[in-house]
A = this chain, B = another copy of it.
Amino acid sequence: MTIRILLADDHQVVRHGLRTALQREPGIEVLAEAENGRAAVSMVRNLQPDVVLMDIHMPDLNGTEACRQIMTEHPKVKVIALSMYSQKRYVLGMLEAGAAGFLLKNCSFDELVRAVRAVVSGKSYLSADIAGTVIDMAINPIKRLEEKTAAILTPREREVLQLIAEGHSGKAIADQLALSGRTVEHHRSQIIKKLNLKSIPQLTKFAIIEGLTGLDD
């Protein structure tokens, strides 16, 4: 039975390379590629892959939020996070969002394949470097709580927060999410109220700290 994979990464050459390499593996098929989280969510709906290889840093809708949405709609789909960083908040966010695996991008290709086969057979898979972080968090649940203090926002709010911090206007966000401008405004003010912020620059910094957006345009 072939394992059907969806690739989600914002870098075309990375996707192409992964696809080429994965397709040489027996029993693995790459169904499609998504260049952001939103595309990934809708592709999962249409294609019903077995596994999603999900980069965390993506424009529009990041990997964590995308994972959360996918797991809500399709609990059987296995998401493997593929990140450059092993920071606690990324790992924690992804695992809470329901990811079955977490790999660093500097893992070997063999390890990636192992991870894919592991999650398909119902197991979880963590990069060795990640395992330590996870154990650490399991041992110190106090830190875990603190980590979450920053996560009082609802999924929708975080989604809007990311778009704001990426520089999109209220109108553009409304169009993209198919909402009325009013709703977007409401989310914006909720975010600012909840986080006790006073300006868009502060909101932007928060989003950067939370890894919802980067310093690059």
Is B108 within 8 A of A16, CB to CB?
yes
Q: Convert A18-29 into 0s and 1s, putting 1 for each residue whose CB lies closer than 8 angstroms to a CB of B.
A: 111100100000
Tell me, yes or no, whether A194 is within 8 Å of chain B by CB. Answer: no
Q: What residues on B are CB-neighbors of A216 within 8 Å?
A: 84-85, 87, 205
User: Which of B11, B103, B199 touches A105 (beta carbons < 8 Å)?
Assistant: B11
Tell me, yes or no, whether A41 is within 8 Å of chain B by CB. Answer: no
> Shortest CB–CB separation between residue A163 and chain B, in angstroms?
10
Tell me, yes or no, whether A10 is within 8 Å of chain B by CB. Answer: yes
Copies, count:
2
Is B202 within 8 A of A205, CB to CB?
no
Tell me, yes or no, whether A112 is within 8 Å of chain B by CB. Answer: yes
User: Which of B12, B85, B167, B199 touches A106 (beta carbons < 8 Å)?
Assistant: B12
Q: Convert A162-196 into 0s and 1s, putting 1 for each residue whose CB lies closer than 8 angstroms to a CB of B.
A: 00111111000000000000000000000000000
Question: A interface, how many residues as a size bin?
Answer: 35 or more
Q: Residue on B with the closest CB to A85?
A: B216
Q: Convert A188-212 into 0s and 1s, putting 1 for each residue whose CB lies closer than 8 angstroms to a CB of B.
A: 0000000001111111110111000
Q: What residues on B are CB-neighbors of A108 within 8 Å?
A: 12-13, 16
Q: With the chains together, A216 CA to B83 CA distance in Å?
A: 12
Q: What residues on B are CB-neighbors of A200 within 8 Å?
A: 167, 200-201, 204
Is B204 within 8 A of A105, CB to CB?
no
Q: Convert A61-86 into 0s and 1s, putting 1 for each residue whose CB lies closer than 8 angstroms to a CB of B.
A: 00000000000000000000010111
Q: What residues on B are CB-neighbors of A205 within 8 Å?
A: 204, 208, 215-217
Is A12 within 8 A of B208, CB to CB?
no
Q: List 6 A-B contacts (CB under 8 A).
A: A10-B106, A11-B84, A13-B112, A21-B21, A166-B201, A205-B215
Taking A17-B21, A167-B200, A200-B200 as known contacts, 15 extra A-B pairs with beta carbons closer than 8 A to each other, sorted by chain A number, are A12-B105, A12-B106, A13-B103, A13-B107, A13-B108, A14-B17, A20-B24, A167-B197, A168-B199, A197-B217, A200-B201, A201-B204, A205-B215, A205-B216, A205-B217
